[in-house]
Structure 1
């Protein structure tokens, strides 16, 4: 049994057929990457998993429980947290208020404090800026805050959408190191990423999306060696 299973997922935006019969699975304990060009359907896939979009057909299961008819809040409570593209932090709230918002589905005050401590250990820069307005943080710090906020729900599966977008190369390295740390702590990760080289370097398995369909899939290191992938996504 896979942790997450998508079967025959078809998503439409009006007349546009954005996802065409997607089948995808994520095994517990893995980092799985979804790579592909802009507009291939990567973000749509994550939004469908987290209940923000609905598939016309098929189904999504998480530990064998059907999720495709559930709302987004229920899905977060079940252990799936989505760190969206473009960060979507609450700009007029402080760093600590943003993190508290990430724990809105939880009632266990002691455990929330322990998670907050863990987030600050992963992101010491956030601890230094605890009372700063989130909108005044740098791009890299905002990305760290978005990831920290997603971790506050203590997810079993973390959906990460373009975490390196718009960041300087040195920060990209730092963000990817943090993703590895989060994974080493026991969180399974489904990663959507334009930086295919970096994504494949930390992943166990990967899918290549092209205009709403999966064109290739396999172990990440095998795909990284594939001539088609090199040509299309690795500048080789």
Structure 2
């Protein structure tokens, strides 16, 4: 579904991604783990069109998207839930969700997706008339995910969905990510909580200082001593 070949991305003089290659097959949950500043968010922003690669190629369902504008990438079926949630604070929950569907005009489908989002996130239904800025961190994360789903993505990019959430809520969010995947949405997940991410992922990549240094099935990486000591708090 997504193929990235040897992309390089710069912030000014900083070489943020160095020859990164990876692939995601339809129906998978793939996680990207790495320390802060390793290039994880940069990679998601490059895939979703917020940053342009200097070279290399990004193919989504076989079509090149590297350097395309973000809006046309969303239209092709790729949604990005950014780090830090970024909900529109002075708009209601319902208005935020409507914005997620702004490129669509299939009224019936949009109504069905509202229902689906409210089924996945009953709390959002309870708070649908409330201003988003008054929601808790966990509720805002649910809203950011719900808003992305309103675009009916084939591939969902999630950047640090558990950041700043209480452990119980983290579990809830991860259960919902699995639920979303079961309905047929492919997922690329970036997550500080590597244990949690590997527990739901099919495959994983490890990124260090802008380079992919390891990849394999989630089980292989969970069992690797090197990964354990670096990312999983083991020895």
Normalising by structure 1, what TM-score? 0.99
Partner secondary structure for residue 112 of structure 2? helix
Q: State the partner residue of 1:168.
A: 166
Q: State the partner residue of 1:192.
A: 190
CA offsets, 1:8-45, max 9 Å, x none?
11000000000000001000000000000000000000
Counterpart CA distance in 2 for 1:12 and 1:210 is: 16
How far off its partner does 1:70 sit?
Answer: 1.3
Q: Is 1:204 aligned to residue 172 of structure 2?
A: no
Counterpart CA distance in 2 for 1:101 and 1:228 is: 43
Q: Is 1:97 aligned to residue 95 of structure 2?
A: yes
Q: State the partner residue of 2:24.
A: 26
Unaligned residue ranges in structure 2 (runs of 5+): none
Partner secondary structure for residue 58 of structure 1? strand
Q: State the partner residue of 2:84.
A: 86
Identify which of 40, 43, 49 aligns with 2:38: 40
Identify which of 61, 67, 72 aligns with 1:63: 61
Q: State the partner residue of 2:112.
A: 114
How far off its partner does 1:120 sit?
Answer: 0.3
Identify which of 131, 140, 143 aligns with 1:142: 140
Unaligned residue ranges in structure 1 (runs of 5+): none
CA offsets, 1:124-164, max 9 Å, x none?
00000000000000000000000000000000000000000
| Conservation of the 8 A alpha-carbon contact between 2:51 and 2:67 | no
For these two proteins, the number of residue pairs brought into alignment is 234
Counterpart CA distance in 1 for 2:4 and 2:21 is: 5
CA offsets, 1:191-214, max 9 Å, x none?
000000000000000000000000
Counterpart CA distance in 2 for 1:154 and 1:106 is: 9
| Conservation of the 8 A alpha-carbon contact between 2:81 and 2:145 | yes
| Conservation of the 8 A alpha-carbon contact between 2:28 and 2:201 | yes
Normalising by structure 2, what TM-score? 0.99
Counterpart CA distance in 1 for 2:89 and 2:155 is: 26
Counterpart CA distance in 2 for 1:104 and 1:68 is: 23
Identify which of 34, 52, 55 aligns with 1:54: 52
